[in-house]
Structure formats: C-alpha cells, structure tokens
C-alpha cells in the first residue's frame, strides 16, 4: 500500500513525500481510511508506530478541504514534550496546507501562545492545564472545534488529568469527530472511550503491551555499591553510540548526571524538576548528538520520539512491567535494532519478578568482567503471551567481557 491510495489533497501528498514517508506504517494504513470517513476511532498501538501522522494526516486533509478558520481541531497530549513533538510533525505535514498550529503547554511563554491563537491557528495541540488557564481567561474558544484527538489516553489518566479532560470535553461541541490513542487499553481508557466517543471503530496494532522483538534485553546483576562503576564501564563500550539511562527519582537522575559528567561523559539530564527551557535544551543536545547520554526519569519514557537511540539502560528498574516496556521502547524505533540493559541488585528482585512474569520469560543474564555478579533470580515466570524473547535467548553470554 502507498499513501497515494488515500484520497488526500495533492499538497498533503507532497508533504508526506517530503517527510520521507514512502509507505504507511500499519497504524496509518488502518487508521487513515477510517478517519477520512469521519468515524470515531479508538486505536491502541505500540509507541513509535507512526501514530502521530496517523491522526494528523486525516485531520489536515479535513481542515484544508473545509478552509477552516479559527480553532477547529484539538489534540490533547499528556506531556509538553509529546505536544512539542506533535507540533513538529504538524509543521512538516501541514507545510503546503496553509494551516497553522498553536502548541499550548505550561512552562512556556503564554504571550507567544496567545499570539499564535490570534494569528489564526486552526489546530490547537495542548496539555490540559494550560488550555484550561487560557479558557478561563477567555483567550480561547472551543466552540468551532470539529476534530478532537485524545493522545496517550492511558498516560493522561496516570498523570491525573481526568478532571481536566472532562472539563475540556464538556466545552467542545457534541457534533465532532473524536479519535483516541492509547498504548494500553485498561478500564480507564475504556471509560474515556465510552464517555467521549460515539460508536468508535477499534483498531489494535501489534501485540498488547509486549516490547518490539527487535529489542535485545539483558540483565546485569550487580551489587548496589558497584552500580555507578558498572554504568561507566557499559557506557564506555564502543557499541553504545547513544543511550538513555533511566533512574527511579529526580534526585538520582541529577546525581548520576553529575557523576557521568565528572567522568567526562557528555550527558544531558531530563526530569520533572527541570524548567521547560532546560528540558528542551537537554532533548536538543541529545537528539543532535552533542550529548551521547541522556539521564531521565519516567517523564521522558513515554511518547518521546528520539531516533537512533542504540541503548536504553535501566540504572534502576521500574516497579512495573508497563513502565519497563515503555522505557525500553525508546530504542529500536521504527523497527530498528536496539539494546535494553538493566542493572539489577538483589534488592530489586521483586520488581524483576514482576517484569519477567509480565513478559512471560526469564531475561538473559550477563556479567561485566571485574564485577561481582550476585544472584538475582526471581520466581519462575509464567508464560502469558508470546514476546520477542526467542531471538535473544540464543545469544552468547558476557558480551561485555
Ligand atoms: P510516532 O509513533 O508518531 O511517535 O512516530 C514515530 C516516528 O516515525 C516519527 O519519527 C515519525 O516521523 C516516523 N514516521 C511516521 N510515519 C512514518 C512512515 N510512514 N514512514 C517512515 N517513518 C514514519
């Protein structure tokens, strides 16, 4: 299938080509035709699957054909980074359409956002908090909105945005086209779909909550006191071209960031206590390759699209399998290969058990020469669904030795 099989206006086809998109990803082939018909949609797809273009392409086509004036589409995203990313994708795809977007998020100049609105933005890409601020000040009206996208619904719920989401959805017209995207489909996203969507078509891409098979996953058992030294050793390997290192807390992210810089590793740090300007700079230096390593808390784990991340390192394991899968999904984007490495102390055995149970397999253990490798065997996992483990199981041990 190619994009030309969708009846999109010619300038949009041109922008898609300019983006270098030659054929639709699975989520795009399934979503775009249904969305072009104006039917409501609930889509669950793996992160990095091309879901942003899957909703932006039909949205741009519709607003362009209608010669929309004023705010006509609303994309609701849980984090500023995700909204910014969506804004960038919109700029590329809408280049020849005459449409404009305003990215309305906290932590950045409200004045500029108001100017973008006054300049006639037809598409509002928002985080709920700042949108409500502007609504309360009477700076934005949603009366003409005809398309609503709820992006990463599960994440919006995790972050406690349900009341704000309800408030926004009460304000937009009842007659509208609504699309909801969610990485996972638990009872929370299902309730949103029930409350805000009208007889939605359901599209499910890939396996539910399973990591892409192109990610090789390895556990490095380590004593707590050796973690920093082992991290340095791993990051020093030539095959680690760019890595995101995840820590459990913001304080630990700062600490590890400082430690790496002291050892001459060019490092960016991103977490919720940093200002928006600092977060933007961190992302930029990492994306451009000025920094080879980015230390992050889970705030960066979901939705961020950073191409060419060769390694994800879990300096601390997350407590649950879902966060683990989201974190490691930052590598192996768009079907590329990637490595996920977890430094696991005996104290983290319970979290490892949870993760292995959800994956349905025991992850392979390796050791780094010169480091003690304590026993971190979790209770034997029960197979719940097939995952990409078969590929990694055959690999040799001790590749870092
Ligand atoms: P997303 O899942 O929306 O975060 O998209 C992940 C990445 O895939 C982004 O860098 C997009 O630019 C890229 N992408 C989206 N659609 C396509 C496509 N059809 N072909 C190639 N790359 C794509």
Residue 210 lies in a domain: no
pLDDT digits (tens, 9 = 90+) for 82-97: 999 999 999 999 999 9
Atom of ligand 1 nearest to the CA of 92: 12
Q: Are residues 39 and 135 in the same domain?
A: yes
The torsion region of residue 48 among left (phi > 0), alpha (psi -120 to 50) and beta comes to left
pLDDT at 333: 66
Q: Are residues 246 and 226 in the same domain?
A: yes
Atom of ligand 1 nearest to the CA of 21: 20
Residue 227 lies in a domain: yes
Give the closest residue (by CA) to ligand 1 atom 4.
48
The torsion region of residue 37 among left (phi > 0), alpha (psi -120 to 50) and beta comes to alpha
Over range 50-77, report the average pLDDT: 96
Q: What distance in Å separates the CA atoms of residue 216 and residue 201, rounded to the nearest whole number?
A: 34
Backbone angles phi, psi at 311, to 5 degrees: -135, 140
Residue 74 lies in a domain: yes
Give 398's pLDDT tier (boundaries 50, 70, 90).
very low
Residues 6+ apart with CB under 8 A from 372: 222, 223, 226
Q: Are residues 94 and 23 in the same domain?
A: yes
Q: Which of 132-141, 165-174, 195-204, 253-262 has the lowest mean pLDDT?
A: 195-204
- Ligand 1 centroid to Cα of residue 159, in Å, is 25
Q: Are residues 190 and 41 in the same domain?
A: yes
Domain end point (choices 181, 205, 229): 205
Domain end point (choices 205, 235, 262): 205
Could you tell me if 122 and 142 are in contact, meaning their C-beta atoms sit under 8 angstroms apart? Answer: no
Tell me the residue range of the domain where 324 lies. 215-399
The pocket around ligand 1, CB under 6 angstroms, is made up of: 21, 24-25, 28, 48-53, 305, 334
Q: Are residues 270 and 370 in the same domain?
A: yes
Atom of ligand 1 nearest to the CA of 47: 2
Q: Are residues 251 and 345 in the same domain?
A: yes
Q: What distance in Å separates the CA atoms of residue 136 and residue 147, rounded to the nearest whole number?
A: 21
Q: Are residues 228 and 290 in the same domain?
A: yes
Residue 13 lies in a domain: yes
Give the closest residue (by CA) to ligand 1 atom 16.
50
- How far does CA 291 lie from the centroid of its chain? 20
Residue 168 lies in a domain: yes
- How far does CA 3 lie from the centroid of its chain? 24
pLDDT at 272: 80
Q: What distance in Å separates the CA atoms of residue 102 and residue 295, rounded to the nearest whole number?
A: 29
Q: Are residues 357 and 221 in the same domain?
A: yes
pLDDT at 388: 39
Say how many domains are in the chain.
2
Q: Are residues 257 and 363 in the same domain?
A: yes
Is the confidence at residue 397, as pLDDT, over 60? no
Domain end point (choices 205, 225, 246): 205
Residue 15 lies in a domain: yes
* CATH number of the domain within which 301 lies: 3.40.50.300
Residue 225 lies in a domain: yes
Residue 302 lies in a domain: yes
Q: Are residues 243 and 114 in the same domain?
A: no
pLDDT digits (tens, 9 = 90+) for 128-170: 999 999 999 999 999 999 999 999 998 899 889 999 999 999 9
pLDDT digits (tens, 9 = 90+) for 297-343: 987 666 677 878 899 999 999 987 878 988 888 887 665 678 999 99
Q: Are residues 187 and 244 in the same domain?
A: no
Q: What distance in Å separates the CA atoms of residue 385 and residue 67, rounded to the nearest whole number?
A: 47
Q: Are residues 273 and 388 in the same domain?
A: yes
């Amino acid at each position: 299938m190619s994009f030309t099989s969708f009846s999109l206006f010619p300038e949009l086809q041109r922008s898609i080509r300019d983006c270098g998109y030659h054929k639709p990803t699975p989520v795009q082939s399934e979503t775009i035709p249904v969305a072009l018909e104006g039917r409501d949609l609930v889509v669950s797809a793996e992160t990095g699957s091309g879901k942003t273009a899957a909703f932006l392409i039909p949205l741009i086509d519709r607003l362009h054909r209608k010669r929309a004036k004023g705010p006509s589409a609303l994309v609701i995203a849980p984090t500023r980074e995700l909204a910014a990313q969506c804004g960038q994708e919109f700029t590329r795809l809408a280049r020849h359409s005459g449409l404009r977007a305003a990215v309305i998020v906290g932590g950045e100049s409200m004045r500029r956002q108001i100017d973008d609105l006054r300049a006639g933005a037809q598409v509002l890409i928002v985080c709920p908090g700042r949108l409500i601020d502007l609504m309360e000040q009477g700076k934005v009206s949603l009366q003409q909105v005809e398309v609503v996208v709820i992006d990463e619904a599960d994440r919006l719920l995790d972050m406690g945005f349900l009341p704000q989401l309800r408030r926004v959805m009460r304000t937009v017209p009842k007659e509208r086209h609504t699309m909801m995207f969610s990485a996972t489909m638990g009872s929370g996203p299902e309730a949103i779909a029930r409350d805000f969507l009208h007889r939605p078509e359901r599209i499910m891409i890939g396996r539910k909550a399973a990591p892409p098979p192109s990610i090789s996953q390895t556990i490095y058992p380590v004593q707590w006191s050796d973690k920093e030294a082992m991290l340095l050793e791993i990051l020093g390997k030539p095959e680690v071209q760019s890595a995101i290192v995840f820590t459990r807390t913001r304080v630990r992210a700062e600490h590890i960031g400082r430690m790496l810089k002291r050892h001459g590793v060019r490092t960016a740090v991103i977490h919720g206590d940093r200002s928006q300007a600092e977060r933007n700079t961190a992302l930029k230096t990492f994306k451009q390759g000025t920094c080879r390593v980015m230390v992050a808390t889970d705030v960066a784990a979901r939705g961020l699209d950073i191409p060419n991340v060769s390694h994800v390192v879990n300096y601390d394991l997350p407590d649950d399998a879902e966060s683990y899968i989201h974190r490691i999904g930052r590598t192996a984007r768009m079907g590329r290969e990637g490595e996920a490495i977890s430094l696991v102390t005996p104290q983290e055995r319970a979290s490892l058990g949870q993760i292995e149970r959800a994956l349905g397999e025991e992850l392979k253990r390796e050791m780094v020469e010169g480091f003690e490798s304590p026993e971190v065997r979790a209770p034997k996992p029960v197979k719940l669904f097939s995952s990409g483990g078969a590929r990694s199981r055959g690999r040799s041990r001790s590749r870092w030795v």
